[in-house]
Amino acid sequence: MFDALKKKFSSWFSDKKEEKKKTSKKAGKNEKKEKKESKIVKEKVKKEKIKKTSEEKIEESIGEEIEESVKEEESEEPEEKKGFFSKLMGKISSSTATMNQENIDGIFSEIEITLLENNVALEVVDKIKENLIKDLLGIEVKKDKIEKTIFDSLKKSILEVLIEPPNLIENINKKIGPYTIIFFGINGSGKTTSIAKLANLLKKSGISCVLAAADTFRAASIEQLEKHADNLGLPIIKHTYGSDPAAVAFDAKKYAEAHKIKVVLIDTAGRMYTKQNLIKEMEKIIRISKPDLKIFVGESITGNDAVEQAKTFNEAVGIDGIILTKADVDEKAGTILSVSYVTQKPIYFLGTGQEYSDFTPFTKDSVLKNLGLD
């Protein structure tokens, strides 16, 4: 997200260094231009004794030559408009500068455009600006360190927006009895596949789990989860389509207790967060299964839509964490910056491909690297 902005900043900060060279070069070219015009005028004077018809032709030719000469010089050195950073550097005559509100506002105007173009929620943009003001206002900065100081402060501001998740494996191992995780989100968000990816990760960590096919509404949903269970060699609890999803969750917990299985992973029907009857059904499943962790699954590439979905689910049932799918094809990364801050819940994992192993634990440092701020 910030690679282009860093290049732009670098070019701005180098503007002042080139200014003297350009001014000197331009002055030399202006002098050269004047000499050319003077020479042409002298030639014109010498021709004054020639017949009137010839004189008119010569004057026309000379006028065109002068005009062409001026155009050539103008095209060689176009007038450049000064950007904010060129003006800022021009105001700094000493080796250090004090960052004031005007400077910070000018700096942030470019950062704000970059953030908004990359689907970062407005309230997150405002928070980052607030953090920058708190960090930069009134500090003394060396002239040659301004660029680094700005990006260090931006990095710090973003770190304050992100929320580091707790260690899920540790929390599971601490729990006496089955650790229950329920998943919900809208249709097509990658919820069922994310369950299978987490099951694979837990299995590789030596933690047993059972899958619960509590999506009894969507056609082929049970078969889809069953296929994942077969691929991973895991047990699955399922009922028929149209049966009570809360009963499936209840039976899965009982099965885990009877077979000493450590984790229960409950799939639920994809539902639009605006459908109140489906929200009530989800509340019933939660009440019966008493989950230790409620995970919202959303697509990273949907930007502010995913943020609004997470916000609404959180208000309805209180989510504990987030999984964002398709993060590998999300070039903007605005959802990653926004969803945690808006819900005040951590992102646990990022889906980064089609394989079971394409499931990356979320860390602040990895986000900074992907944003080009490491």
Which CATH number is 115's domain given? 1.20.120.140
Give a yes or no: residue 374 inside a domain: no
Residue 130, token pair as written in the block: 């607030």
The answer to whether residues 34 and 115 belong to one domain is: no
Give a yes or no: residue 36 inside a domain: yes
The answer to whether residues 176 and 232 belong to one domain is: yes
- Domain endpoint, select from 32, 50, 76: 76
Amino acid present at 312: T
- Domain endpoint, select from 145, 161, 177: 161
What angle (nearest 5°) sits at the alpha carbon of residue 174, between those of residues 364 and 310?
45
Residue 38, token pair as written in the block: 């003077």
Domain count, the chain: 3
- Domain endpoint, select from 161, 177, 194: 161
Residues 6+ apart with CB under 8 A from 337: 115, 120, 121, 124, 158, 161, 162, 367
What is the β-pairing status of strands 179-184 and 236-237? unpaired
* pLDDT given at position 350: 94
Give a yes or no: residue 5 inside a domain: no
**Closest C-alpha to 118, from 11, 4, 9, 273:** 4
The answer to whether residues 201 and 344 belong to one domain is: yes
* pLDDT given at position 304: 82
* pLDDT given at position 144: 78
Q: Which residue has the tokens 């360190």?
A: 145
CA contacts within 13 A on the Cβ side of 289: 35
The answer to whether residues 49 and 174 belong to one domain is: no
* pLDDT given at position 95: 63
The answer to whether residues 256 and 341 belong to one domain is: yes
* pLDDT given at position 45: 46
- Mind listing the pLDDT tens digit of every residue in the chain (374 residues)? 666 656 655 655 555 445 444 554 555 555 555 555 555 545 554 555 444 445 555 455 555 555 555 555 544 444 444 444 444 445 444 567 788 888 888 888 888 888 888 888 899 999 999 998 998 888 888 877 877 888 888 888 888 889 999 999 999 999 999 999 999 888 888 999 999 999 999 999 999 999 999 998 888 899 999 999 999 999 999 999 999 999 999 999 999 999 999 999 999 987 665 566 777 788 899 999 999 999 999 998 888 888 888 988 898 889 999 999 998 887 777 888 899 999 999 999 999 999 999 999 998 887 877 777 76
**Domain hosting residue 326, numbered range:** 168-364
Residue 232, token pair as written in the block: 């991973």
CATH code of the domain covering residue 300: 3.40.50.300
Give the integer Cα–Cα distance in Å for 262 and 329. 33
Give a yes or no: residue 63 inside a domain: yes
The answer to whether residues 254 and 107 belong to one domain is: no
Residue 180 parent element (H or E): strand 179-184
Give a yes or no: residue 101 inside a domain: yes
The answer to whether residues 210 and 69 belong to one domain is: no
pTM of the shown model:
0.76
Give a yes or no: residue 37 inside a domain: yes
Q: Which residue has the tokens 């003006």?
A: 87
**Closest C-alpha to 248, from 279, 277, 221:** 221
Give a yes or no: residue 117 inside a domain: yes
19-41 per-residue burial string, b: 16 or more CB within 10 A, e: under 16: eeeeeeeeeeeeeebeebeeeee
Count CB-CB contacts under 10 A for residue 287: 10
The answer to whether residues 98 and 208 belong to one domain is: no
The answer to whether residues 116 and 200 belong to one domain is: no
The answer to whether residues 157 and 172 belong to one domain is: no
Give a yes or no: residue 87 inside a domain: no
Which of helix, strand or coil describes residue 359? strand
Give the integer Cα–Cα distance in Å for 251 and 255. 6
* pLDDT given at position 192: 94
The answer to whether residues 203 and 305 belong to one domain is: yes
The answer to whether residues 197 and 249 belong to one domain is: yes
